[in-house]
Structure 1
Amino acid sequence: MRVIGLMSGTSHDAIDAVAADIVQRADTLDVAIAGMLSRPYPATLRAQLLATLPPNTTDIGAVCRLDTAIGQEFAATAEAANNEFFDGTAELIASHGQTVFHWVAEGAALGTLQLGQPAWIAQRTGLAVVSDFRARDIAAGGQGAPLVGLFDLLWLNGRQGHTAGLNIGGIANVTVTGDHPSAFDTGPGNALIDAAVERLSAGTEFFDHDGTRAARGTVDDSLLKTLLAEPYYRKPSPKTTGKELFNAAYLERLPPIDPDDLVATLTALTAHTIADALATHSPTEVIASGGGTRNPTLLTMLRERLGHAKLRTSDELGLPSAAKEAAAFAVLGFLTVHGLDGTDPGCTGAREASVLGAITPGVNGFPRTERPSVAPRQLTVVGHGQA
């Protein structure tokens, strides 16, 4: 099945689209990545989106307008990816949408909201759309995140040693494989770094390009110790967080500090919290993806903190790091239309596994598929030299 996976993460900067040809053979999913593209949000739309996010307040009219505008941008991105990589022959769209709020209270996820009305995608492409992936897991008692957990378990199954998957987006999350798998958000990935750079540059920069600012700065050990006292880091998994906590306002409580030292310290915070979260699981290798892999200063700090665990990027295993999350949602969409569970309860904390999402019909209605006789137990990325 030819699937377009769509994703915009907690950096709120662009929509990523991955074209994936997915086939299940016995208990293995073969995923061939035909290509990927990334389309930045128009500046005005991004500004409107950021203005609705915590700690800002908003109104229901603004939410409605964003749901439409983001849906239209996702639709245009899906159409572009379908035309470029599948010559218009895609069969399904899987859209994560744009998270604007993840409601967590006393460690339990109670609700979640992703914008990007799927009807606009279905109308423009003519294809059925799977969307609203997270709500079903929350209804089953899970955290609703990180939903990349099942993808990681299938993809990393069979690797020697004890492997952890890591995604460093706005928020960083890990999946730990083994007899008792686990998946959870470790804390800020790029969120606080990006917020600091945007503030320090008066809005002319949105991230620490190549980790240059952090490399110039010096980590303030006293400030780092204060930041590490954040209660979230000591909560047991499964757990989730987001920009409801780690946002620009989080920086306002910090004392004055040299700009580059601030970025260096926040970069060290990300490295420390990821490594500390993984320490109790003792992985032998960590496979990283996401925007944070393009920050060499962060990766250097993380390698130093991980000790004996080998840090690699997903590119080394044949899966482009920028494509992983959108590819994961393409797979989740495939599972949904085939009636297969998209979660592992051990990863999300749900009472049971669930078939995820809602399906918006395309011009020909719903996809015509049959439920496979067995659920997949492994996933391979084909056509991209694996290690």
Structure 2
Amino acid sequence: MRVIGLMSGTSCDAIDAAAADLAIEGDTVVLTPLGALDHPFPEGLRRELSAALPPASTSMADVCRLDTLLGQALAAAAERADRQLCEGRADLVVSHGHTLYHWTEGGRVLGTLQLGQPAWIAERTGRTVVSDLRPRDVAAGGQGAPLVSALDVMWLRDRPGAPVALNLGGIANITAVAEGREPSAYDTGPANVLLDTAVRELTGGRADRDTDGALAAAGTVHGPLLERLLAEPYYALPPPRTTGRELFDAAYLRAASEGFGRLSAEDLLATLTELTARTVADAVRAEGGTEVIASGGGTRNPTLMAALGRALGGVPVRVSDELGLPSDAKEAYAFALLGFLTVHGLPGTVPSCTGARRSVVLGSITPGREPLRPVPPVRATGGDAGAGAVTAPDRLRVAGTGPSRRSRTRTREPR
């Protein structure tokens, strides 16, 4: 099955689209990457979206507008990915949408809202769409995140030691996999979100990132500010835990910096970079990690990666590209996998990673212009499984593109 995964992350920089051929071979899902691309938000939409994110107030009219405009932007990204990456032969589109609000109280997630109306994607592309993937896990008592943990657990299950998958998006999250114990996954804290927020604040919106970490590299970590930031109660919450812009926003950064006078841009960014490195390293050590496999936009920030390497000491850090999954597109590939599991009637969560009572089939399905091609039944054995039942896959293998298939990679501006 040829699947397109769409992801719009915390950083609000673009829609990530990744395409893959996916097939089930025994206990293994085989994922063959077909390439990925970035589809920029229309500038007006990006401004409206940023203005509506917590702690800003918004209206139901704005929510309706954003749901429609995001749906149209996601539809354009899906159509382009189908044309450029799938030769117009995609079978399925899986859309994460954009998280407008993640409702948490006392460490518990009570609800989550992703915008980006899937009907626009189905209408423009004619493809069946799987969307709204997080709420089912929340309804089952989970955090609704990090959903990428399902891919990580399947992918890293047979690696030696205790590998830790790390995503450095707006928020940093890890998945720890070790033989003999249940896997664990959670958001460690901010990655790019506070760095990008600081740059926007410092430049009055003229810039939105510290490209290549150049400013941070020229600065010095401000010890007292770092200690105040590390005292944030979120870091003491037991996993599984999730967070986002509802906590780590411009107001949070201004409050944390209060009383320290005017810090230089370089020193502030150096301190925020160290915060990410330290909180990630603390989580990796708590999980007994023996290697870190990193992905996400933060891997393109050499200053952040160097800080992470220092904070981790002797724990090796590699980028997911080395294992076959492009680091810039890993989350989009993860959502492609989750939608593929959904249309096969297979669960897409790991309860020990999200905190849910049980593993559940994720998302809602919006039909395309033609019925989704029938898929072979796959169900877990045991319990009330009937005759002929097969074991649901619990492993992931990333295949090469092969000599007859064009491998397409995307170009992105550096962080």
The two structures have a TM-score, normalised by structure 1, of: 0.98
Q: Does 1:117 align with 2:134?
A: no
What is the match of residue 227 of structure 1? 229
Which secondary structure does the structure 1 equivalent of 2:293 belong to? strand
Q: What does 1:94-243 align with in structure 2 at a 5 Å threshold?
A: 94-178=94-178, 179-243=181-245
Contact preservation (8 Å) 1:92, 1:367? no
The AA in structure 1 aligned to 2:78 is A
1:153-200 deviation per Cα after TM superposition (whole angstroms, max 9, x unaligned) = 011121111100000000000000022210000010111000001111
Asked if 2 retains the 8 angstrom alpha-carbon contact of 1:128 and 1:367, the reply is: no
**Paired letter, 1:125:** T
Please state if 1:347 is matched with 2:353.
yes
**Alignment partner, residue 78 of structure 1:** 78
Q: 1:312 aligns with which of 315, 318, 338?
A: 318
CA contact (8 A) 1:287 1:311 kept: yes
Distance 1:333 1:361 in 2: 13
Residue identity in the other structure for 1:345:
P
> Is the 8 Å Cα contact of residues 91 and 372 (structure 2) preserved in structure 1?
no
Indicate the larger mover: 253-262 or 177-186.
253-262
| Structure 1 ranges of 4+ moved more than 6 A | none
Q: How many residues align?
A: 385
Task: Give the letter for the 1:198 counterpart.
Answer: R
Q: Do 1:102 and 1:111's aligned partners in 2 also have CA atoms closer than 8 Å?
A: yes
- 1:374 is matched with 391
How is 1:325-336 mapped onto 2 (pairs within 5 angstroms)? Answer: 325-336=331-342
Q: Tell me the distance in 1 between the aligned counterparts of 2:142 and 2:28.
A: 26
Give the conservation status (yes or no) of the 8 Å contact 1:337–1:367. no
Q: How far does residue 145 in structure 1 lie from its aligned partner after superposition?
A: 0.3
Q: Residue type matched to 1:109 in 2?
A: V
* 1:294 aligned residue (280, 295, 300): 300
2: CA distance, partners of 1:35 / 1:276:
34
Structure 1 residues 273 and 128, CA, compared in 2 at 3 Å: closer, same or farther? same
CA distance in 1, matches of 2:182, 2:350: 11
Shift of 1:80: 0.4
What amino acid maps onto 1:81 in structure 2?
A
CA RMSD of aligned residues (A): 1.0
Q: How far 1:367 sits from its partner (Å)?
A: 4.2
Runs of 5+ consecutive residues of structure 2 not aligned to the other structure = 379-389, 403-415
**Aligned AA for 2:394?**
R
- Please give the secondary structure, in 2, of the residue aligned with 1:82: helix
Q: Which moved more, 1:156-165 or 1:59-68?
A: 156-165
Kindly indicate whether the alpha-carbon contact (under 8 Å) linking 1:69 and 1:116 is maintained by their aligned counterparts in 2: yes
Measure the CA separation in 2 of the matches of 1:196 and 1:295.
15
Q: Kindly indicate whether the alpha-carbon contact (under 8 Å) linking 1:319 and 1:384 is maintained by their aligned counterparts in 2.
A: no
Residues in 2 aligned to 1:236 and 1:85: alpha-carbon distance in whole angstroms: 41
Residue pair 2:7, 2:335 contacting (<8 A) in 1 also: yes
* Matching of residue 258 in structure 1 with residue 260 in structure 2: no
